[in-house]
């Protein structure tokens, strides 16, 4: 997915596109609102209940240099001009893993779920990783979460589950399930 390219979204009126570092900087408030919506809804995405808008913006601000350096790709879904979804591709930095990337911050706003945006964002992330020469994607997700269902529905292979890996936003231990997908091969 070249930086200027957009990706066909399944939902009418929705657009999937890659944000440059400057565009991400200009969208910090919207990106932050999306992340706080996910945490407030109980999603296990590294943060705890009470996660504030300014903390969410700080998280996204921290992504900007990584995007600028080409170490991460941020793809967003927009509906009616508003950001309603994100996914981040992180290129593995290890010299012996030049073919691998991780998927993270797969978020769709609670008002826009089950319309295919998650599936489309994931496909866009896979396409962007492929275009960058990566052939293996890895992620972890809260066991039995919507994310777990999404990756299973999108052809990812479940490796296994680590019990008690993280806390839910309200402090309950939850398992993490590891997935991988080989991409870009005929
Ligand atoms: C996970 C998430 C991104 C899915 O986004 P979405 O736009 O609702 O997903 P889609 O509409 O593209 O769903 C694609 C498929 O995934 C599966 N799926 C998605 N959400 C599901 C759910 N809540 N329950 C069961 N299956 C689900 C279904 O198979 C679905 O296909 P279908 O609607 O035809 O049945 C969204 O629920 C979310 O942002 N959750 C909070 C953040 C989070 O937990 N992210 C994952 C972090 S690893």
Q: What are the tens digits of pLDDT across the range 111-168?
A: 999 999 999 999 999 999 999 999 999 999 999 999 999 999 999 999 999 999 999 9
Ligand 1 pocket at CB < 6 A: 38, 43, 45, 106-108, 113-119, 141, 145-147, 149-150, 153
pLDDT the model gives residue 169: 97
pTM given for the model: 0.95
According to DSSP, residue 91 is labeled: E
For residue 8, is it within any domain? no
For residue 3, is it within any domain? no
* Confidence category of residue 11, pLDDT binned at 50, 70, 90: confident
Print the domain residue range for 131: 16-182
* Confidence category of residue 98, pLDDT binned at 50, 70, 90: very high
| Residue ID of nearest Cα to ligand 1 atom 9 | 118
Number of neighbouring beta carbons within 10 Å of residue 78:
20
Whether the Cβ atoms of residue 166 and residue 142 lie closer than 8 Å to each other: yes
**Cα torsion for 93, 70, 34, 59, to the nearest 10°?**
60
pLDDT the model gives residue 96: 98
Ligand 1 centroid–CA 10 distance in Å is 14
Ligand 1 centroid–CA 44 distance in Å is 14
Q: CATH no. for residue 32?
A: 3.40.630.30
Whether the Cβ atoms of residue 7 and residue 17 lie closer than 8 Å to each other: yes
Domain count, the chain: 1
For residue 40, is it within any domain? yes
> Across the chain, how many H-helices and E-strands are there?
5, 8
For residue 5, is it within any domain? no
Can you say whether residue 112 is alpha, beta or left, with left for phi > 0 and alpha for psi between -120 and 50 degrees? alpha
Give the percent of the chain with pLDDT over 90.
Answer: 91
For residue 6, is it within any domain? no
- Catalogue the E-assigned strands of 60-115: 72-79, 82-91, 100-108
pLDDT the model gives residue 4: 44
φ/ψ (deg, to 5) at 141: -145, 155
| Ligand 1 nearest atom to the CA of residue 153, by list position | 29
pLDDT digits (tens, 9 = 90+) for 140-155: 999 999 999 999 999 9
Q: Could you tell me which of 139, 165, 160, 134 has the C-alpha nearest to residue 150?
A: 139
In this predicted model, which residue has the larger pLDDT, 41 or 2?
41
Cα 9 to its chain centre, rounded Å, is 16
Reply yes or no on whether the pLDDT at 5 is more than 70. no
For residue 174, is it within any domain? yes
pLDDT the model gives residue 186: 58
- Catalogue the E-assigned strands of 113-185: 136-142, 157-167, 173-182
Ligand 1 centroid–CA 38 distance in Å is 12
């Amino acid at each position: 997915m070249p930086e200027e390219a957009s990706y066909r979204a399944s939902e009418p009126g929705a657009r999937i596109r890659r944000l440059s570092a400057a565009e991400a900087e200009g969208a910090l408030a919207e990106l932050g609102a999306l992340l706080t919506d996910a945490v407030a809804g109980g999603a296990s995405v590294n943060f705890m209940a009470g996660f504030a808008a300014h903390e969410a913006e700080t998280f996204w601000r921290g992504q900007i240099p990584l995007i600028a350096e080409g170490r991460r790709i941020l793809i967003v879904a927009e509906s009616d001009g508003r950001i309603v979804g994100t996914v981040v591709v992180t290129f593995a930095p290890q010299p012996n893993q030049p073919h691998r990337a991780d998927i993270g911050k797969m978020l769709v706003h609670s008002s826009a779920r089950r319309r295919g945006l998650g599936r489309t964002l994931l496909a866009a992330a896979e396409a962007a990783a492929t275009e960058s020469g990566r052939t293996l994607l890895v992620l972890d997700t809260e066991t039995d979460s919507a994310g777990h269902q999404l990756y299973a529905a999108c052809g990812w292979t479940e490796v296994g589950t680590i019990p008690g890996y993280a806390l839910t936003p309200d402090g309950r231990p939850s398992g993490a399930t590891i997935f991988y997908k080989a991409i870009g091969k005929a």
